[in-house]
Amino acid sequence: MVMETVCPAGTPAALRAAVEAGAHSIYCGFADETNARNFPGLNFSREEMAAGVAFAHARGAKVLVAINTYPRAGAAPLWHRAVADAEASGADAVILADPGLLAHAAEHHPGLRRHLSVQAAAANADVINFYADSFGVKRVVLPRVLSVPEIAAINAETDVETEVFVFGGLCVMAEGRCSLSSYATGLSPNMHGVCSPASHVDYAEEGGELAARLGGYTIHRVGKGEPAPYPTLCKGCFTSQGATGHVFEDPVSLNAEQLIPQLAKAGVTALKIEGRQRSRAYVAQVVRNFRAAVDALAAGRPMPEGMLARLSEGQAGTTGAYRKTWR
């Protein structure tokens, strides 16, 4: 059985590029606050979604629609419409996080497959089985807080398929349970589908250094000419009791390509690549490499080595929580 590659598309062009590069499944969202990558210029209109689904289906690929923010009180119809429109577009599944929205989808769209978003941070077999019993969830995207043996233990205790992140941006907090961004900027992943938004970023030259601020908080300072990292809160530089450093996480990104055989052994169904905000060229290259890796694994050939290091945000890669010492 070949592991499924689940690949990001922020635009119709990226969707087509991912399909042509060999993606088994594409995930994407509508251009509004119903999805957790609600960035300017990204995502799909209703027409683009239907066309994207038709394009993917014609080439044997699936489309999963992320509707994974938490509906705003009093505004549920916007999210309900997104679920209905995803079904109408012919999508193969919706990726949801909010229990109220899951209940709605299970009741009104029983034929539409439901995946549990990473934003629900379901981190053990008990709660995963509970989501399956309550809402008929068929697959869970695991939060990035688990080690490979823990993932294996989960798979041993559930029939729900598991999907794990293997490449791209890395949340260090349990997803869907972090309001650092709205504390500093008023905009959050859960409510607005954004984290550390560009609208609140400010760079300033000060005394030969470049300071990067988010919401007025200085969380990077580099010498002139050095590349200035984007001020994502949990990758920022801070001072605590006289020591300065990356308190939460270094500016690294996830690269678990070498763990693919172990993840397969752990019973993982699908490998997810982060990056709906990425260019189609980037998406195509990452997809091609991961498709080659899962095909090699299925055929019993050795894994291609170090294929993606240079795509990792120009930074060091990490295997994150998959190795227990990360904690």
Partner 1 sequence: MELTVGPNQFFWEAPRWAKFYAGLARAPVDRVVLGELVCSKRLPFYQDRLPEAIEVLADAGKEVVLTSLALVTLKRERRMTADLLAMGLEVEVNDLTALAHLPEGVEFSVGPLVNVYNEGTLAWLAARGARRICLPPELPLDSVRVLARAAADLGVSIEVWGHGRLPLAISGRCYHARLHGRTKDNCQFACGDDPDGRAVDTLDGQPFLAVNGVQTLSASTASMAHHVEALAEAGVSALRLSPQSGDFVRLCRLYRDRVAGGMDGEALSAALLPEVAGGALSDGFLNGPCGADWSGGRA
Footprint on this chain of partner 1 (rule: CB under 8 A): 70-76, 97-101, 103-104, 121-127, 129-131, 143-146, 150, 153, 172-174, 176-180, 182-186, 188, 190-191, 211, 215, 217-221, 234, 237-241, 243-244, 247-249, 321, 324-327
Strands 25-28 and 4-8: parallel
Minimum CB distance to partner 1 smaller for 218 or for 279: 218
Q: Which residue has the tokens 């490449």?
A: 167
Minimum CB distance to partner 1 smaller for 87 or for 98: 98
| Shortest Cβ 143–partner 1 spacing (Å) | 8
Minimum CB distance to partner 1 smaller for 133 or for 305: 133
Sequence-separated (6 or more) residues with CB below 8 Å from residue 243: none
Instruction: Report whether 260 contacts 293 (CB < 8 A).
Output: yes
| Shortest Cβ 93–partner 1 spacing (Å) | 20
| Shortest Cβ 164–partner 1 spacing (Å) | 14
Minimum CB distance to partner 1 smaller for 5 or for 117: 117
| Shortest Cβ 140–partner 1 spacing (Å) | 12
| Shortest Cβ 142–partner 1 spacing (Å) | 10
Residue 260: enclosing H or E segment and its boundaries?
A: helix 260-265
Minimum CB distance to partner 1 smaller for 92 or for 163: 163
Angle between helices 99-108 and 125-135 (to 10 degrees): 40
Minimum CB distance to partner 1 smaller for 21 or for 166: 166
| Shortest Cβ 129–partner 1 spacing (Å) | 7
Q: Which long-range contacts (CB under 8 A, 24 or more apart) does 243-249 make?
A: 248/172, 248/173, 249/170, 249/172
Sequence-separated (6 or more) residues with CB below 8 Å from residue 86: 30, 49, 65, 67, 94, 112
DSSP state of 42: -
